[in-house]
Amino acid sequence: MYLSIHGTAALVVAQSAPNPWLAFIYSLFLHLLLDIIPHGDEFLIKGFAPKKKLRRLLGATIIDGLILIFLLATYFISTSPTNITNIGWALAGALLPDFLEAIYLTTDIPFLKPWHKFHDRLHDFFKHHLLWTQGVLVQVMVLTALWLWLI
């Protein structure tokens, strides 16, 4: 799923986690659970030449990152949260899996190959592939559910 979904999930986790370490671990686990839901972005870079793969990955990450920053700003402005440490660690746990994936996809570091295979298997858990547009719809629904939980 997109970083904006995982980042919002981290905010939900940060609200209820009793401490920053558990916020990190719960968010990491929630990231893996959310990736199991068929969401259509697994083919964003599959089958493209390495240069084009990198451009597509970078473009999607920039747009997604800007959306996440907007969502975080909205959350901070509207709620003035006091659990900043929890939020920071929850965000780290929620974003780490895709950060590692991005490093592997752009560098092919052998050390991260087992992680890449595991992450890929999660995306293919239900073997139900969606079109990108269907995936966006699923992700908007998940994002809406998370925000309804959050506010």
Residues 36-95 that bind Zn ion (CB under 5 A): none
Please identify which residue in 89, 97, 143, 146 interacts with Zn ion, judged by CB under 5 A: 97
When computed from its CA atoms, the radius of gyration of the chain, rounded to whole angstroms, is: 15
Q: Which residue has the tokens 């597509």?
A: 56
User: Among residues 122 and 150, whose Cβ is nearest to Zn ion?
Assistant: 122
- Residue 48's H or E segment, with its range, is none
- Does 135 engage in binding with Zn ion (CB under 5 A)? no
Which stretch in 41-49, 85-93, 98-106, 128-136 sits in contact with Zn ion by CB under 5 A?
A: 98-106
CA 127/CA 15 separation, integer angstroms:
33
Residues 6 or more apart whose CB falls under 8 angstroms from that of 121 comprise none
Residues 24-43 that bind Zn ion (CB under 5 A): 35
Binding region for Zn ion (CB under 5 A): 35, 97-98
